[in-house]
Amino acid sequence: MVLLAAMAAPAAADPDQAGDSIVLRVYNVIGLTDSELATARLTVRDVFKAAGVQTAWLNCPAMGECRERLRPNEFIVRLIRSPHGLPASSPDLTLGVSLVQSELSSGSFTTVYPDRVGLISPRFGREQDLLLGRAIAHELGHLLLGMTAHSAGGLMRARWSERRLQAAAPADWIFSDTEARKIRDVIRARSVAPKPADHIAAVSLTSAVAAKSFVAH
Q: What is the CATH number of the domain that holds 27?
A: 3.40.390.10
pLDDT at 15 over 50: no
pLDDT tens digit sequence for 197-217: 444 433 333 334 555 555 543
Closest CA to 5 of 171, 117, 103: 117
Greatest Cα-to-Cα distance within the chain, rounded to the nearest angstrom: 45
Does residue 13 lie within any of the structural domains? no
Residue 29 lies in a domain: yes
Give the pLDDT confidence of 28-41 residue by residue, as tens digits: 999 999 988 999 99
Mean pLDDT, range 64-75, rounded to an integer: 90
What's the Rg (C-alpha) of the chain? 16
Q: Please indicate, yes or no, if residue 141 is contained in any of the structural domains.
A: yes
Rounded distance between C-alpha atoms, residue 138 and residue 155, angstroms: 6
Give the C-alpha separation, 170 to 216, whole Å.
Answer: 19
**pLDDT, tens digit (0-9, with 9 covering 90-100), for 39-51:** 999 999 999 999 9
Per-residue CA distances from 86 to 3, 119, 215 (Å): 17, 9, 12
> Beta partners for 109?
76, 99
Contacts of 14 (CB under 8 A, 6+ apart): 56
- The whole-number pLDDT of residue 103 equals 45
Q: pLDDT tens digits for 98-155?
A: 888 754 456 899 999 999 998 888 777 678 899 999 999 999 999 999 887 888 888 9
Residue 140 lies in a domain: yes
Cα 59 to Cα 41: distance, rounded to the nearest angstrom: 11
Asked whether residue 8 is domain-assigned, the answer is: no
Q: How many domains does the chain have?
A: 1
**Which structural domain, as residue segments, surrounds residue 141?**
21-216
In a domain, 2, yes or no: no
Task: Report which of 66, 76, 119 is spatially closest to residue 97, judged by C-alpha positions.
Answer: 76
Q: Is residue 4 part of a domain?
A: no
pTM of the model: 0.79
Task: Decide if 85 is inside a domain.
Answer: yes
| Cα–Cα nearest to 72, from 7, 170, 144 | 144
Name the amino acid, one letter, at 132.
L
Most confident of 153-157, 161-165, 167-171: 153-157
Question: What is the three-class DSSP state of 64?
Answer: helix
